[in-house]
Structure 1
């Protein structure tokens, strides 16, 4: 059995703990990052805390192999004295929303082959999509994820605000949102692009701008220009 210690109480730590409890070949323990007086020994210690706390928390852990779950921090940002690695899952996590780990990409990194194989075994105990990704590649993935997830969700918020202001149910847009996400499984995002910007439909664009507040207009103009310029 592979022993795992999870440090943290946030969304990632909570979901990982629940998933590992159901795995056959691992035994898992979880502690708070605020309770580092007596740290249990483990084959892998997974630090699932906020990015700003990674250095401080890792510096207090003497276990043989310590990894973090951050997309934007490098392997070298860990400050433990023993072996280091990264166990990054490219997904959005909320405590009250179940996740299917079999569909989540695991982006792994380690300092040596044996540690990487250990990470791979642990990842396969709860997931299926395993990728060997270095720190620079992971940073790029994290930025890309911000665009396709965080920024996109903010655009949903703007869309919802516009609907509420005009007394239109936001749910009318949900089939469109789902179809857009499904479409890019078969087409590249560039080929899937539709709308007034890609058609250079200036009259429609001007009509849209009249409906928006100043901040919304700025976002609309930036995105329209980016679509029309092909970047």
Structure 2
């Protein structure tokens, strides 16, 4: 049984706590949170601490806080030579204080407090300073997920940027689509099967092979009609940039 302490109370921390409590291979020793009531529904109140000096010995300490707070939190840990990891997609190992053996435990998923996530399918990207610590992280990761990958800091940066494109930017495009629908009294729900099918395609096709639409067909008549129809300059600019990107991509083939 691997003993774990989770430091943090945000979205990632809460989902990790939920996942670990379902595992037979790990035990949550403690959770650190400045506001105990935030986590009281997830774990026993007696396991929640709000002072670093109250942290007990554990096999692994997972810092699940904002990127800007990782360094300061790691400096305040009152011990040394233990395995300490963060969950950031962009921060390097170097942000963690050198008094401990450092690593990364990065679950690549979008997390919301109100939306349950099947953690068994969440990719977990691991990095450690030595082989023994990596094996500990791998055991912990495999206890909650079937998708575990060794990913170094440089690769993790690439993954995080890619994730912004496929998740954050895509969701913003959903928002724009919803705004256009609502402006013209069209139910956004009509587009949801299309959104689902588009996501399903990339499970079996490369994105470049799944691309369709007027830009892919170089249908200038439709493109010009769309631009003439749009009155919002931001929407027109985004439409133009994405259209040109698709067309330029095809010219490279």
Query: TM-score, normalization: structure 2?
Result: 0.89
- CA contact under 8 A between 1:196 and 1:202: conserved in structure 2? yes
The Cα offsets for residues 78-109 of structure 1, whole Å up to 9 and x where unpaired, read as: 12511000000110000111111111111000
Helix, strand or coil for the counterpart of 1:141?
helix
1:30 aligns with 2:31: yes
How does 1:130-209 map onto structure 2 within 5 Å?
130-209=148-227
In 1, the alpha carbon distance for the partners of 2:51 and 2:116 equals 27
Helix, strand or coil for the counterpart of 2:124?
strand
1:59 aligns with 2:75: yes
- CA contact under 8 A between 1:107 and 1:132: conserved in structure 2? yes
Helix, strand or coil for the counterpart of 1:230?
helix
In 2, the alpha carbon distance for the partners of 1:21 and 1:80 equals 29
In 1, the alpha carbon distance for the partners of 2:20 and 2:241 equals 44
Query: TM-score, normalization: structure 1?
Result: 0.97
In 2, the alpha carbon distance for the partners of 1:39 and 1:151 equals 39
How does 1:85-100 map onto structure 2 within 5 Å?
85-100=103-118
In 2, the alpha carbon distance for the partners of 1:160 and 1:41 equals 50
In 2, the alpha carbon distance for the partners of 1:211 and 1:149 equals 27
In 1, the alpha carbon distance for the partners of 2:249 and 2:15 equals 38
In 1, the alpha carbon distance for the partners of 2:214 and 2:175 equals 21
- CA contact under 8 A between 1:6 and 1:47: conserved in structure 2? yes
Q: Structure 1: which 5+ residue stretches go unaligned? A: none
Helix, strand or coil for the counterpart of 1:88?
strand
90, 103, 110: which one pairs with 2:128? 110
In 1, the alpha carbon distance for the partners of 2:88 and 2:240 equals 33
How many residue pairs were aligned?
A: 231
In 1, the alpha carbon distance for the partners of 2:217 and 2:61 equals 52
The Cα offsets for residues 135-192 of structure 1, whole Å up to 9 and x where unpaired, read as: 0000000000000000000000000000000100000000000000001111100010
In 1, the alpha carbon distance for the partners of 2:188 and 2:53 equals 49
How does 1:215-226 map onto structure 2 within 5 Å?
215-226=234-245
In 1, the alpha carbon distance for the partners of 2:226 and 2:121 equals 37
In 2, the alpha carbon distance for the partners of 1:120 and 1:11 equals 22
The verdict on how the C-alpha distance between 1:157 and 1:35 changes in structure 2, with shifts beyond 3 A counting, is: farther
The verdict on how the C-alpha distance between 1:94 and 1:3 changes in structure 2, with shifts beyond 3 A counting, is: same
